[in-house]
């Protein structure tokens, strides 16, 4: 069982909607990540938070907006998405430079 | 850009056989990790091997690292149908926070 919890597991949203994906970990990890994964492809890094500060933004479009309210929580705010943004969104956490642990992911469908 | 590259891309074996997957990378790393992903699920961390280590074991899993060849291998012994999954390697650069995933190997273990 994963100790990284993601909600919701499934989300269907229209291109004009605003929604959020949520992630929580209680392992005391100080690094948290958002990855995007398309079918039969490896995960692609979107954002890294280290000690609650955004440290890596892999040129992600501004329609994706991350937020780290505290060391246990990570959100991904979604607005005006495109159908090609439909994918599995994975949250992960780690001690800095150590093994990363993933949640089960949130399946996003943009219609 | 992707650093880890696995081969083969797909592998089919019979239950009880051993499965070997390889990962190559381009630049110096801090550590290398192997993950398993069942269809539509999150990634499960299997083993982390550091750049100063050559071999690690965990149950039926054996990972080797050859930094001179910039390659790693994952051996699964006495495979089971439940081992059917995609396997990814991920590398972490020194002073980096970005784990870069290879394209993965899809393993099918036939009963």
Q: Is B97 in Cβ contact with A96 (below 8 Å)?
A: yes
**pLDDT tens for each residue of B8-33:** 889 999 999 999 999 999 888 889 99
Please report the pLDDT score of residue B100 as a whole number.
Answer: 86
Q: Is A96 in Cβ contact with B103 (below 8 Å)?
A: no
* B 70-89 → A contacts, CB under 8 A: 88
Give me chain A's average pLDDT, please. 93
**pLDDT tens for each residue of B49-94:** 999 999 999 999 999 999 999 999 999 999 999 999 999 999 987 6
Please report the pLDDT score of residue B6 as a whole number.
Answer: 75
Q: Would you call A100 an interface residue with chain B, using a CB distance cutoff of 8 Å?
A: yes
Q: Would you call A97 an interface residue with chain B, using a CB distance cutoff of 8 Å?
A: yes
Residues B100 and A77: their CA atoms lie apart, in Å, by 24
Beta pairing class for B10-14 and B105-110: parallel
Please report the pLDDT score of residue B1 as a whole number.
Answer: 40
Between these two residues, B8 and A7, which has the higher pLDDT value? A7
- pLDDT of B96 over the 70 cut: no
Between these two residues, B80 and A1, which has the higher pLDDT value? B80
**Mutation target among A43, A54, A58 for the B interface, most CBs of B within 10 A:** A43
Q: Is B92 in Cβ contact with A55 (below 8 Å)?
A: no
Q: Would you call A99 an interface residue with chain B, using a CB distance cutoff of 8 Å?
A: yes
Q: Would you call B2 an interface residue with chain A, using a CB distance cutoff of 8 Å?
A: yes
Please report the pLDDT score of residue A2 as a whole number.
Answer: 60
- For chains A and B, CB pairs below 8 A equal 57
Q: Would you call A55 an interface residue with chain B, using a CB distance cutoff of 8 Å?
A: yes
Please check whether residue A47 is in contact with residue A33, taking contact to mean a CB–CB distance below 8 angstroms. yes
Q: Give backbone dihedrals phi and psi of A83, rounded to 5 degrees, phi first.
A: -55, -30
Q: Would you call B103 an interface residue with chain A, using a CB distance cutoff of 8 Å?
A: yes
Could you tell me the CA-to-CA distances from B70 to B23, B24, B99 in Å, in that order?
8, 6, 16
Mean pLDDT over residues B34-63, rounded?
95
Mean pLDDT over residues A103-110, rounded?
96
- pLDDT of A55 over the 90 cut: no
Q: Give the minimum alpha-carbon distance from B97 to chain A in angstroms, rounded to a whole number.
A: 6
Please report the pLDDT score of residue B2 as a whole number.
Answer: 44
Q: Give the minimum alpha-carbon distance from A52 to chain B in angstroms, rounded to a whole number.
A: 14
Q: How far is CA B96 from the centre of its chain?
A: 20
Q: Residue A97 — very low, low, confident or very high, per pLDDT cuts 50/70/90?
A: confident
**pLDDT tens for each residue of A17-29:** 999 999 999 999 9
Residues A104 and A37: their CA atoms lie apart, in Å, by 12
Please report the pLDDT score of residue B4 as a whole number.
Answer: 62
Mean pLDDT over residues B97-103, rounded?
84
């Amino acid at each position: 069982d994963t100790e990284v919890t993601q909600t919701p597991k499934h989300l269907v949203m229209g291109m004009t909607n605003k929604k959020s994906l949520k992630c929580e970990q209680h392992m005391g990890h100080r690094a948290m990540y958002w990855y995007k994964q398309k079918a039969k492809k490896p995960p692609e890094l979107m954002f890294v938070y280290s000690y609650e500060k955004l440290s890596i933004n892999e040129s992600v479009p501004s329609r994706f907006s991350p937020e780290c309210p505290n060391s246990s929580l990570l959100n991904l705010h979604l607005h005006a998405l495109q159908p090609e943004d439909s994918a599995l969104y994975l949250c992960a956490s780690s001690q800095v430079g150590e093994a990363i642990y993933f949640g089960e992911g949130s399946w996003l469908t943009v219609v | 850009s992707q650093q880890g590259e696995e081969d083969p891309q797909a592998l089919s074996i019979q239950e009880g056989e051993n499965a070997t997957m390889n990962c190559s990378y381009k630049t110096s790393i801090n550590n290398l990790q192997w993950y398993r992903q069942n269809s539509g699920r999150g990634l499960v961390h299997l083993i982390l091997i550091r750049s100063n280590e050559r071999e690690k074991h965990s149950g039926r899993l054996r990972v080797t690292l050859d930094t001179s060849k910039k390659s790693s291998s994952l051996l699964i012994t006495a495979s089971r149908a439940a081992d059917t999954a995609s396997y990814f390697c991920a590398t972490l650069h020194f002073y980096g926070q970005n784990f870069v995933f290879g394209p993965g190997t899809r393993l099918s273990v036939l009963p």
